[in-house]
Amino acid sequence: MTLLLLDSASLWYRAFFGMPDTLLSPSGEPVNAIKGFLDMSARLINQYQPSRLVACLEGDWRPSWRVELFPGYKANRVDESGEEEEPDTLGPQIPILLDILEAFGIPMVGVDDYEADDIMATFSVKERGPTFVATGDRDLFQLVDDKRRVKIVYLAKGIANHDLVDRAWIKNRYEIPGDRYALFAMLRGDASDGLPGVRGIGEKGAAHIANHFATIEDALAAAHAADEKLTPALRKKLIEGSDYVAIAPKLVHCALDVPIPSMSIAMPTRPIDMAQIWQYKERYGLGTSIDRMIAALNW
């Protein structure tokens, strides 16, 4: 009963930048993100053979409650109109892609004021595993749980060479306990999300703290107590960064209680009438990409 969760925005961005922009529909519209997303999804379905599937969407890429905690959250991605910056030729492809996924009957969900990360995190704790989360975002390493059989299909090296992240992988890569990635990320920060981390603490210092303390609150308490597990420099930086330390857990941890609407997440069955899918295939010149999805779904 394998569950495959697709970090949809991560996949379509990777598809857009990984596929040639010369891929056009018969009428000249760019379709590289659409084709790439369908191709990647088909390959993931073929490899992991899920019995349940969800394409997770951003209800809000900058949830109000995170921005209230830290106004700089993802502010580096905001354009002059206050919207998320994205390539001009990507935006028009997304509604078409979502229509195609709907035509295939692929379960999709986004929830107001929550990111796709939060939706995937909630599924990962509420649904029985094994669960595979397909993403290019290392923030989701915090979801890895060997007992619940939750792993990250990490696409940073591409679909063909992706890593399958479990707690041993995290331990080997970052030299920290595999269940402490979120703590490590809070301390180190993440420039792509506009998160500074604790000022002056880089990857090496974050790893040292994560190896000695289970929570950021424990680390701060140890700093105040002059615990010798921390160098004087690390103690000083933690204390000086105590305001950030206070908000970091809620800011960085994925929400585990998103009110996901009641829905079926079973693999879609072949529709009686395939006309709509054939229309998309012809109109947008999606030939082999549509065919790959059909084959992956065993239609």
Q: What is the pLDDT of residues 128-174, one digit of tens each?
A: 999 999 999 999 999 999 999 999 999 999 999 999 999 999 999 99
**CA 175, 7, 127, 162 torsion: positive or negative?**
negative
Arithmetic mean of pLDDT, 173-190: 96
The two tokens of residue 128 are 């029985």
Whether the CB-CB separation of 250 and 244 falls below 8 Å is answered with: no
Counting runs of H as helices and runs of E as strands, what totals does the chain give? 13, 6
pLDDT surpassing 80 at residue 51: yes
To the nearest 10°, the Cα dihedral for 185, 181, 111, 146? 170
**Dist CA 91 CA 4 (whole Å):** 25
**Dist CA 258 CA 262 (whole Å):** 12
**Dist CA 129 CA 125 (whole Å):** 9
pLDDT digits (tens, 9 = 90+) for 246-298: 999 999 999 999 999 999 999 999 999 999 999 999 999 999 999 999 999 99
From start to end of 14-81, where are the E strands? 52-56
pLDDT surpassing 90 at residue 30: yes
pLDDT surpassing 80 at residue 81: no
Find the DSSP H helices in the chain: 8-18, 32-48, 64-69, 93-104, 116-126, 167-174, 181-188, 203-212, 216-224, 232-240, 242-252, 275-284, 287-296
Arithmetic mean of pLDDT, 181-193: 94
Amino acid, res. 73? Y
pLDDT surpassing 90 at residue 85: no
pLDDT surpassing 90 at residue 80: no
Overall pTM > 0.85: yes
pLDDT digits (tens, 9 = 90+) for 199-252: 999 999 999 999 999 999 999 999 999 999 999 999 999 999 999 999 999 999
From start to end of the chain, where are the E strands? 3-7, 52-56, 108-109, 131-135, 150-154, 163-165
Query: 73-77, 115-119, 175-179, 195-199: which range is least confident on average?
Result: 73-77
The pLDDT score that the predictor gives to residue 38 is: 98
Q: What Rg do the C-alpha atoms of the chain give, in angstroms?
A: 21
Pick the closest to residue 101 from 45, 34, 46, 158 (CA basis): 34
Which has the higher per-residue pLDDT, 77 or 237?
Answer: 237
pLDDT digits (tens, 9 = 90+) for 88-133: 899 999 999 999 999 999 999 999 999 999 999 999 999 999 999 9
The pLDDT score that the predictor gives to residue 77 is: 84
Which has the higher per-residue pLDDT, 80 or 171?
Answer: 171
Beta strand 3-7 with 52-56: parallel, antiparallel or unpaired? Answer: parallel
Q: What residues contact 121, with CB distance under 8 A and at least 6 apart?
A: 140, 142, 143, 254, 255, 256, 258
**CA 11, 121, 165, 51 torsion: positive or negative?**
negative
The domains of the chain, with CATH numbers, are 3-174+255-296 (3.40.50.1010), 181-252 (1.10.150)
- Name the helix (H) or strand (E) containing 116: helix 116-126
